[in-house]
Structure 1
């Protein structure tokens, strides 16, 4: 009896999936396109663009003088006697109209405008963080879909081949060249592969649902195409502190530090009072002269030690808090990046070992078991077991490559890739 194990065809099918889009896919979804779609429809980015616009509009308003105050009134109106409630008979009664203008110092107006500009910078830093998160999470979802699809193709190929083995074993049994146990063994192998296919299908549906969360249901139905460039990353060497400082989390805290520093300088400037000037024109009865009044108002800061100085100290404490948080975040991100870099480099080594050593060894074992079965020195169950081990080796290699590619995605999109990003509104 001759039963073949065309594992090379299954390996070739998996390799074709890993190397590029299948020929039957007319409109594949690449990783870059998936990220571009996800960025384009992210409402988080739209919201942060709106916040940036709001902060910059407020910055312009904060740099202006306050609106003047129109003042209307009646002074010295008699309440009793012959001139009761008369606006013209008593020489002291005046109808008054005036304007008051508060004049904050130019330094304060500039600092108030700068404070909102710092808010805009902080929102932009948070936008970079959101952009990096969208690109990273989209990449992770796309990689899960890509490799799960490759696993499904591999298992599906093996099911078809094992069904042919069932037919061959059944023919051999009917012709007296094989045993019924061989038929049952081949059928059990098909059932086992079908169960594995069900598991892979569940994973594939889950991966598709997660990808749809980022790119929409229509785009998620398209077949993923690659290959993903997981074998290289800008962080392949020593982790640079300058590179880490471009991390969006650190940029956001840095923007907060600048905002708190501006508030501290504004609190310091508030130790010098703002003046208000006022001019009013008062009209009396026709027998009396009209009056012009001019005045200046100056707040008296009686207790700077317990008010203005305390405000300055509070703002400086916020600056120190942000600095400490920045240093802690820098250490945390450095440890995170080093861990991801270690996982990625170790994964690359393991993938190479699987592909260069483990998978070829499993193939050789399956071929040896098949040869032993053909020469009557082994049974079909042993040959099928060796075949399953070979399939397992291929699936383990794909799983390991997927895990390594996920580490690559987390490393590669620590900082957003502006090549797949839509430009932010109101960016300087």
Structure 2
């Protein structure tokens, strides 16, 4: 629309006032006042105005296309992030409900067997190390999940509460002897 304004006639009015001091001989000089009117009439619009309008239209379309591409990129990031959070939730549930309890039981059984002179010390240590490694993996999953939730909060800033679980603030550590059943860390 701004480029199309160049098709219309353009009017201009100028006014100037100039104060003049006395000349070097001491004679008085008159001050100056001038008024000017300008009128710009675009007669041959094919050269400049048509090109300006088509360039402005192209710039507007380019901006529109950039916005569309950015929206598609953000939607693709959102889809990827949602899939990642689903996989991390599955892994978190597997660790919390199956792997960590089994590792704790196995480590406890190996330690009990060693205490009863029925097992090997190295086996009891390996079981405890495997349990600790599983807990570290579980913590890594939880940290990765929180990073992904931060990305989701960036991509969907208006409706964050849908993505955060209710027990998000009540995360319980998955340590042996300190576990709480039924809570979702």
Structures share a fold, TM > 0.5?
A: yes
Aligned length: 143
Shift of 1:302: 3.4
Deviations 1:319-346 (A, max 9, x none): 1111111222221111110100111121
Deviations 1:334-382 (A, max 9, x none): 1110100111121112111101110000001001111211222211111
Q: Which residue in the other structure is 2:40 paired with? A: 299
Q: Which residue in the other structure is 1:323 paired with? A: 64
Deviations 1:84-112 (A, max 9, x none): xxxxxxxxxxxxxxxxxxxxxxxxxxxxx
Q: Which residue in the other structure is 2:77 paired with? A: 336
In the alignment, structure 1 residue 404 sits paired with structure 2 residue 140: no
2:13 and 2:152 map into 1 onto residues whose CA distance is 60
In the alignment, structure 1 residue 313 sits paired with structure 2 residue 49: no
Q: Which residue in the other structure is 1:195 paired with? A: none
1:280 and 1:379 map into 2 onto residues whose CA distance is 105
Shift of 1:414: 2.4
Which one of the candidate residues 266, 269, 281 is aligned to 2:5? 269
Secondary structure in structure 2 of the residue aligned to 1:395: helix
More RCO (CA 8 Å, sep 6+): 1
Secondary structure in structure 1 of the residue aligned to 2:155: coil
Secondary structure in structure 2 of the residue aligned to 1:275: strand
Q: Which residue in the other structure is 2:89 paired with? A: 348
Deviations 1:21-57 (A, max 9, x none): xxxxxxxxxxxxxxxxxxxxxxxxxxxxxxxxxxxxx
Which one of the candidate residues 362, 385, 394 is aligned to 2:135? 394
Secondary structure in structure 1 of the residue aligned to 2:43: coil
Q: Which residue in the other structure is 2:25 paired with? A: none
Segments of 5+ residues of structure 1 without an aligned counterpart are 1-264, 282-291, 418-428
Cα separation, partners in 2 of 1:278 and 1:383, compared to 1, 3 Å: closer
Secondary structure in structure 1 of the residue aligned to 2:8: coil
TM-score normalised per structure 1: 0.31
Shift of 1:278: 5.2
User: What does 1:176-195 correspond to in 2, within 5 Å?
Assistant: none
1:279 and 1:395 map into 2 onto residues whose CA distance is 81
Secondary structure in structure 2 of the residue aligned to 1:376: coil
Q: Is the 8 A contact 2:10 2:40 kept in 1?
A: yes
Segments of 5+ residues of structure 2 without an aligned counterpart are 18-32, 159-185
Q: Is the 8 A contact 2:16 2:35 kept in 1?
A: yes
Cα separation, partners in 2 of 1:353 and 1:278, compared to 1, 3 Å: closer
1:304 and 1:402 map into 2 onto residues whose CA distance is 64
Shift of 1:300: 3.2
Shift of 1:383: 0.3
1:312 and 1:306 map into 2 onto residues whose CA distance is 11
Shift of 1:416: 5.0
2:40 and 2:54 map into 1 onto residues whose CA distance is 21
Q: Which residue in the other structure is 2:107 paired with? A: 366
Q: Which residue in the other structure is 2:165 paired with? A: none
Which one of the candidate residues 107, 113, 124 is aligned to 1:383? 124
TM-score normalised per structure 2: 0.70
1:277 and 1:327 map into 2 onto residues whose CA distance is 44
Q: Is the 8 A contact 2:6 2:42 kept in 1?
A: no
Q: Is the 8 A contact 2:103 2:131 kept in 1?
A: yes
